[in-house]
A = this chain, B = another copy of it.
Amino acid sequence: MAGNYSVQRETIYQVLKSTKTHPSADWVYRRCRDVLPGIGLATVYRNLELLVEQGRAIKINVAQGKDRYDADVTPHFHTVCPICGKVSDCDTDGVIAKALDGECERRGYQGWSLIFTDVCPDCRSIKQIKISRSDQ
């Protein structure tokens, strides 16, 4: 097959791998521009989508519009702040994770996503809604 490599693709993947913040496409785009000033937003979207298809990243759908991406494809739990939308990893209870894997096999499902709702520390202290939607 021809022309399957590109600096852009590699950069996007490296940027995504370098963070644990579950960034949005836009955030990845901005970080990529530090290295490749000419990169286009569409390229970032296209490649993130490709990474997901290839199983090298996952997409996390939360409210607040933006989709988030994560290069950590090992099954793990997430928390989402209902106020600012920030996504974080949280301790993944092994027993529950095993049980979920079991359910998948038993029922023929392809995977699971477990998200806990948790007002994040920032929003807890600010106590005001919609001040800052996490700009990740």
Q: Which residues of A contact B (CB under 8 A)?
A: 59, 61-63, 67, 79, 82, 90, 93, 95-96, 99-100, 103-104, 107-119
Contacts and interface: CB of A to CB of B under 8 A. Distances in A.
The count of identical subunits is: 2
Given A59-B63, A62-B61, A114 B113 contact: yes
A118 B114 contact: no
Contacts of A79: 109
Contact residues of A: prevailing secondary structure: mixed
A107 B79 CA distance: 11
Nearest to A77: B103
Given A59-B63, A104-B116, 8 more contacts: A63-B67, A93-B103, A95-B99, A96-B96, A107-B118, A109-B118, A110-B118, A114-B114
